[in-house]
Amino acid sequence: MSSLTTAWVKPPNQITGLDHLGVQAISVALYERLLPGITNVTDRAAYFSFYPWFLSSMQGAGNIKRDDFLEYFRRADCLFTLIGARHGHGQEESIHGARLVGRNVLLPALERMLDGKTVRLSTFATREESSDRYFKNPLGGLGQYYLGTLRDLRILRGDLREGVKFTDQCGRPLAEAFTLRAEKDRFWRAIKKDVIDVGTLDDLIDFCPCMLKENPVELDLLTNLFINVPGIFQSDDGQRRQHADTALRSF
């Protein structure tokens, strides 16, 4: 009688990462076809006006070295997220801090501030390898998610090497509209001071994404941008977004 010998073999490596079945490609294709200029990672409309506002607010500072710009920018990115997380704490997060850049890393910092402690923005804005680093990309969420979209929409121009700028035609109106609800000096004092507490965040609640609805000028501009109302934002890609919006409303 023949015998059968078996042996255990090493189990296959566990699959890591996301989207194992590749279904995300479907949503990406739908976004590109129906909503050109908006992607499945540009989650918050507030960034479409916040980023040009921040770049505009740096104009009076003269020539800033690249490293200084990146430090200030990354601190601003962190501060913006912490403001939204603070305002949404214990509330409906979807209209406040959800989907803001670096949120998961920055939530423990918010908890420390809620316990009465202070934190340094620079700890999380660092570009060095660190468990506290909020984002690896030098330009944070702008570089990772929004820059390409905002360039396509003619709101920003440039890149990390040559410098990122806002455009006069589309970027400046959004920056000026954002200014109507948010005071530049208070935000910049927090960035430069570096050390912040929960009182700092409470003093900057006007920067929370939820406050967009309280600023009709900013809200109207972003609405005009997304559905291609004739004017400064009108474009061929916008026409496709407008048609998609009309089709969805017909259901």
- pTM of the shown model: 0.83
Q: What is the DSSP letter of 214?
A: G
66-96 pLDDT per residue, tens? 999 999 999 999 999 999 999 999 888 888 9
Mean pLDDT of all residues in 32-58: 85
- Of the pLDDT bands very low, low, confident and very high (cuts 50, 70, 90), residue 167 is very high
205-238 pLDDT per residue, tens? 999 999 999 999 999 999 888 887 788 887 766 6
Across 18-22, 81-85, 182-186, 194-198, least confident range? 18-22
Q: Is 49 within 8 Å of 221 (Cβ atoms)? A: yes
Q: Report the C-alpha gap between 83 and 102 in whole angstroms.
A: 12
Q: Read off φ and ψ for residue 17, nearest 5 degrees.
A: 90, -175
Q: Report the C-alpha gap between 140 and 146 in whole angstroms.
A: 10
Query: What pLDDT is recorded for position 36?
Result: 66
Q: Say yes or no to pLDDT of 58 above 60.
A: yes
Q: Kindly give the residue spans of alpha helices, DSSP state H, lying in 35-157.
A: 46-57, 66-87, 103-114, 121-125, 140-141, 147-152
Would you list the domain boundaries of the chain?
A: 46-227
239: tokens are 């026409």
91-150 pLDDT per residue, tens? 888 889 889 999 999 999 999 999 999 999 999 999 999 999 999 999 999 999 999 999
Query: What pLDDT is recorded for position 204?
Result: 97
Q: Say yes or no to pLDDT of 64 above 90.
A: no
